[in-house]
Amino acid sequence: MSFNGEAKVNTGTVHRWFVEAASNFHEQRDYLTQLDAAIGDADHGTNMDRGFTALLEKLDGFDGPPGKLLTTAGSTLVSTVGGASGPLWGTALRRAGRSLGSGDEFDGAQLATALEAALDGVVELGAAQEGDKTMVDALGPAVRVFRESIDDGTPVPAALAAAREAAEQGMKATVPLQAQKGRASYLGERSIGHQDPGATSTVLILAALERSVASER
Amino acid sequence: MSVAQQTVKKFLNDPEDIVTESLAGLGAAHPDLVRIDFENQLVLRKDAPVQGKVALVSGGGSGHEPLHGGFVGLGMLDAAAPGAVFTSPVPDQMLAATKAVDGGAGVIHIVKNYTGDVMNFKLAAEEAADEGIEVESVLTNDDVAVEDSLYTAGRRGTGATVLLEKIAGAKAEAGGSLAEVAAVARKVNDQARSFGVALTSCATPAAGTPTFDLGPDEMEFGVGIHGEPGRRREKVRSAAEIVAEMSEVILGDLNPAGGSNVLAFVNGLGGTPLIELYLIYNELTKHLEDRGLTATRSLVGDYITSLEMAGVSITILVLDDELTELWDAPVHTPALRWKA
């Protein structure tokens, strides 16, 4: 499989994505929990690590199209993560999976549509907009940049790299923001000066997607 | 706010097992009242489902004991779904709880207003509806420390949750319909306000270190029940001064009519001894009297905690005849018992 021109993504790619993401969360678990302790309740790293560990167990030996893999993964996160991150990431993956339908592989444009569906699901459930100091501050720009890159004819791996960079910028931009949603909003002005843990997790997930695709080339 | 590095000592085996092992102990200590569903991580009323009775389900992160599992039993909750420490339970748990306790008269979900709890309960309620179970969700958001505005997640659910579970539980036990139980539950939330102050941080078992740094002479004014910081940090003052300001914030927002009867609830956050809680209650009565209010009912003790946090929350509930009668009705749970 190659990404020269008409790139395709399949079940193997998605499975590698989650393996990479689980490894990221395991390594960054304490860091995320520390970020959360500053403006939340000190459980984000633990929760994401637990969810992605459960996800890998659930997907072991999975046989089916990538869309089905994503919806199964989403349901697993809803069932294991708890907090707000479980429903939000679970909904994101389920929506992305539904968007992909039952095809065995998909291209950059379909991936862009799936990521847009994921973002819509998160915004709908969380009622957060960009600038509220949430995961949407990283996911929103990433999805937008990915779509623009694909429309410009950029190959999927480079488009994912651009999306991840946009997410990183969005994540860093959460530092000076005052939280307007989630538990950090209780802090009011005191949430300023801290990086949002949810936006940070978003970068980890997108970086995992980027690596899973790059490793195929 | 940096994370303090010192380790907090706890009675643990593996931190990962704290919830399961604690639930096992609850079940073993009170086999006459509750049974534990370990597969779905639930505390169920021993005789659930009670046919024809509206069932009450609540849930939320662990670490607030006795909330919610300690309030399962006659005249209160039918099921509690505890999550990991300070983490909302997952929808599968609430759905399993809802199915286990539904006696055909519908199920009330009592949800504290936190982003995670609201989302997980919402997903569970949708799935329960798909399976033909009628669910009414009741939100608690009594914490006046949080400004209720478009720019926050809204007020947190705290002390009023305990009072609501007792009163709505009595209404259900008395044969109230789903709409009637939901209405009285919402009345409790509407007529109650709370405010908390912390003298020390708590430490989650997984982290092992204090969630926030609080200097030896500092307090967190307006603290939440997860160690999330409050309105501001300031120097510790006398109990009289602290309670005066807490009362002012609560009563200023609640604005009860002079001559009202109230339930005054002084709640320990886990690490404050009863001797101090009663001292605080004494201060509180002065402010109630100043405003022409009579505390005709009271509750003092640790009922909704934040692990080992030293601190206190005060909840004031404006009573009427119906609420008083329901408060007085028999209750028999691991953590609250009278007349039964």
pLDDT tens for B135-152 read: 999 999 999 988 766 667
Mean pLDDT, residues B4-26: 90
**B136 and B281 housed in the same domain:** no
- Sequence-ordered alpha helix ranges (H) in A60-129: 66-80, 85-100, 108-126
Q: Report the distance separating Cα B321 and Cα A61, nearest Å.
A: 62
**The domain boundary residue, chosen from B162, B191, B220:** B191
- CA–centroid distance for B288 within its chain: 23
Q: Report the distance separating Cα B318 and Cα B258, nearest Å.
A: 11
User: Residues of chain B with pLDDT > 70: what percent?
Assistant: 97
**The domain boundary residue, chosen from B164, B191, B218:** B191
**B89 and B155 housed in the same domain:** yes
Cα separation values, A64 from A11, A68, A92, A95, A97, Å: 7, 6, 19, 17, 12
> In degrees rounded to 5, what are phi and psi of residue B211?
-65, -35
Mean pLDDT, residues A184-192: 86
Number of H helices, E strands in chain B: 8, 14
Instruction: Establish if A103 belongs to a structural domain.
Output: yes
Nearest CA in chain A to B40: A79
Residues near A192 by beta carbon (within 8 Å), at least 6 away in sequence? A176, A177, A178
User: Could you read off the pLDDT of A138-174 as tens digits, one per residue?
Assistant: 999 999 999 999 999 999 999 999 999 999 999 999 9
Instruction: Establish if B338 belongs to a structural domain.
Output: no
How many domains, chain A?
A: 1
For CA atoms B95, B96, B101, B105, the dihedral sign is positive
Nearest CA in chain A to B150: A180
Give me the CATH number covering residue B292.
3.30.1180.20
**B163 and B201 housed in the same domain:** no
Helix (H, G, I), strand (E, B) or coil at A203: helix
How many domains, chain B?
A: 2
Instruction: Establish if B238 belongs to a structural domain.
Output: yes
A38, A82, A186 member nearest B152 (Cβ): A186
Among B257, B336, B324, residue whose Cα is nearest residue B293: B257
- CA–centroid distance for A5 within its chain: 25
Which element (helix H / strand E) includes B34? strand B34-37
**B115 and B214 housed in the same domain:** no
* The pLDDT value given to residue B151: 66
Q: Report the distance separating Cα B119 and Cα B106, nearest Å.
A: 20
* The pLDDT value given to residue B1: 39
Residues near A144 by beta carbon (within 8 Å), at least 6 away in sequence? A166
Q: What token pair was written down for A131?
A: 């600038």
Instruction: Establish if B3 belongs to a structural domain.
Output: no
Instruction: Establish if A4 belongs to a structural domain.
Output: no
Give yes or no for B40 touching A (CB within 8 A).
no
Instruction: Establish if B340 belongs to a structural domain.
Output: no
Q: For residue A174, what is the DSSP state?
A: T
Judging contacts by C-beta atoms under 8 Å, the chain B residues touching residue A186 are 145-146, 152-153, 156, 224, 228-230
Q: Do B84 and A78 touch (CB under 8 A)?
A: no
**B185 and B212 housed in the same domain:** no
Helix (H, G, I), strand (E, B) or coil at B258: coil
Mean pLDDT, residues B173-200: 97
Among B111, B220, B125, residue whose Cα is nearest residue B168: B111
* The pLDDT value given to residue B69: 98
Structural domain of B113: 15-191
Judging contacts by C-beta atoms under 8 Å, the chain A residues touching residue B92 are 78-79
Q: Which residues pair with B135 in a beta bridge?
A: B107
Instruction: Establish if B70 belongs to a structural domain.
Output: yes
Residues near B289 by beta carbon (within 8 Å), at least 6 away in sequence? none
The 10 Å Cβ neighbour count of residue B150 is: 6
User: Could you read off the pLDDT of B120-132 as tens digits, one per residue?
Assistant: 999 999 899 989 9
CA distance B174 to chain A (A): 34
- Choice between B110 and A5, residue whose per-residue pLDDT is larger: B110
Statement: residue B87 has pLDDT above 60: yes
* The pLDDT value given to residue B121: 96
Instruction: Establish if B279 belongs to a structural domain.
Output: yes
C-beta separation of A15 from A69 below 8 A? yes
Q: Do B87 and A43 touch (CB under 8 A)?
A: yes
CA distance A168 to chain B (A): 23
C-beta separation of A107 from A127 below 8 A? no
DSSP A10-33: EHHHHHHHHHHHHHHHHHHHHHHH
Angle between helices A136-151 and A156-173 (to 10 degrees): 150
Statement: residue A178 has pLDDT above 50: yes
**B183 and B113 housed in the same domain:** yes
Q: Do B119 and A181 touch (CB under 8 A)?
A: no
| Conformational region of residue A134, where left means phi above 0, alpha means psi within -120 to 50, and beta covers everything else | beta
Judging contacts by C-beta atoms under 8 Å, the chain A residues touching residue B150 are 180
Q: Report the distance separating Cα A183 and Cα B230, nearest Å.
A: 11
**B93 and B228 housed in the same domain:** no
Give me the CATH number covering residue B180.
3.40.50.10440
Helix (H, G, I), strand (E, B) or coil at B198: strand
User: Could you read off the pLDDT of B20-57 as tens digits, one per residue?
Assistant: 999 999 999 999 999 999 999 999 999 999 999 999 99
B83, B91, B206 member nearest A78 (Cβ): B91
* The pLDDT value given to residue B149: 60
Judged by average pLDDT, the poorest of A182-196, B33-47, B108-122, B293-307 is A182-196
Q: Do A82 and B83 touch (CB under 8 A)?
A: yes
Give me the CATH number covering residue A33.
1.25.40.340
Q: Do A43 and B85 touch (CB under 8 A)?
A: yes
The owner of tokens 């370990």 is B38
Q: Tell me the pLDDT of chain B averaged across its residues.
A: 94
**The domain boundary residue, chosen from B161, B191, B221:** B191
pTM value is: 0.87
Helix (H, G, I), strand (E, B) or coil at B308: coil
**B216 and B125 housed in the same domain:** no
Give yes or no for B263 touching A (CB within 8 A).
no
Strands B79-85 and B42-45: antiparallel
DSSP B107-143: EEEEEES-HHHHHHHHHHHHHHHHTT--EEEEEE--B
The owner of tokens 């790293």 is A45
Is the complex ipTM higher than 0.90? no
Among B116, B57, B46, B119, residue whose Cα is nearest residue B85: B116
The 10 Å Cβ neighbour count of residue B16 is: 14
Judging contacts by C-beta atoms under 8 Å, the chain B residues touching residue A82 are 61, 83-84, 87-90, 116, 120
Structural domain of A123: 9-214
**B221 and B179 housed in the same domain:** no
Instruction: Establish if B337 belongs to a structural domain.
Output: no
Q: Do B211 and A181 touch (CB under 8 A)?
A: no
Give yes or no for B126 touching A (CB within 8 A).
no
Cα separation values, B163 from A91, B125, B132, Å: 34, 23, 29
Among B76, B124, B95, B86, residue whose Cα is nearest residue B37: B95
Which element (helix H / strand E) includes B20? helix B18-29
Which residues of B have a catalytic role annotated?
64, 226
Give yes or no for B24 touching A (CB within 8 A).
no
Instruction: Establish if B1 belongs to a structural domain.
Output: no
Q: Residue A3 — pLDDT band, cuts 50, 70, 90? A: very low
Mean pLDDT, residues B61-75: 98
Statement: residue B331 has pLDDT above 90: yes
Statement: residue A110 has pLDDT above 50: yes
> In degrees rounded to 5, what are phi and psi of residue A111?
-65, -40
Strands B218-221 and B192-198: antiparallel
Residues 88-117 of chain A whose Cβ lies under 8 A from any Cβ of chain B: 88
